[in-house]
Amino acid sequence: MKTEIRRQIFHSIAGTIAIAIVLYFGRINAMILAGIVFLAGLIISLLVLRGFKIPVIEHTLKYFGRESESALPGKGALMFALGIFLILILFQRTEIIVGAFMVATYGDAASAIVGKTIGKTKIWENYTLEGTIGGIVVATIPLLFLFPIHVSVITATLGMLAELLPIDDNIGIPHIAAAVLTVLF
């Protein structure tokens, strides 16, 4: 439980940094940085997988890692960086990109924390109704600073329901949110 909360706090911080980079340095610079971060992370992950000992990375993986990620150490962080990179490639408008990142960052973290702490009503494998509702509420709040209420609620709802798709949520959530924002805004 503690590891999952630490992961979600890190996830929120990393997503907030990604949003700030897009806002302050622009889409292209953010795309270049996200690509570099993804490739560097992939190389490090493959080195660790081959048995290389990198002290800071070993400690980080012990502190934040999941046992299910042993086949690709740091898979969650890699997928998050890849999701950011792909959104920056596929979508042009800053408000769409930032909105998608908000849902993926805050909604995803909230759904995991709420689901793990108070979730009781399972709706799919490791997902609970309480976690999904918590994610929708938390994702809606920052969206309201950029979009009308109906756009914010629909985007947060469909973005959080993307967790139920059979693809990594770091890819599914921001892409669904960005697509919904593109259609509605």
Look up residue 107 and give its two tokens: 């909604």
Alpha carbon distances (Å) from 143 to 22, 75, 112, 118: 16, 27, 19, 24
Query: For residue 103, what is the DSSP state?
Result: I
pTM score: 0.91
Assign 59 a pLDDT band (cuts: 50, 70, 90). Answer: low
Query: Which helix (H) or strand (E) segment is 172 a member of?
Result: helix 169-184
- Mean pLDDT within 163-185: 96
- For residue 122, give the 3-state DSSP assignment: strand
- For residue 50, give the 3-state DSSP assignment: coil
Cβ–Cβ contacts within 10 Å for residue 18, how many?
26
User: Can you tell me the distance from the alpha carbon of 51 to that of 88, in angstroms, rounded to the nearest whole number?
Assistant: 33
- Mean pLDDT within 12-22: 97
User: Can you tell me the distance from the alpha carbon of 153 to that of 185, in angstroms, rounded to the nearest whole number?
Assistant: 13
User: Can you tell me the distance from the alpha carbon of 26 to that of 30, in angstroms, rounded to the nearest whole number?
Assistant: 6
Q: Is the pLDDT of residue 98 over 70?
A: yes
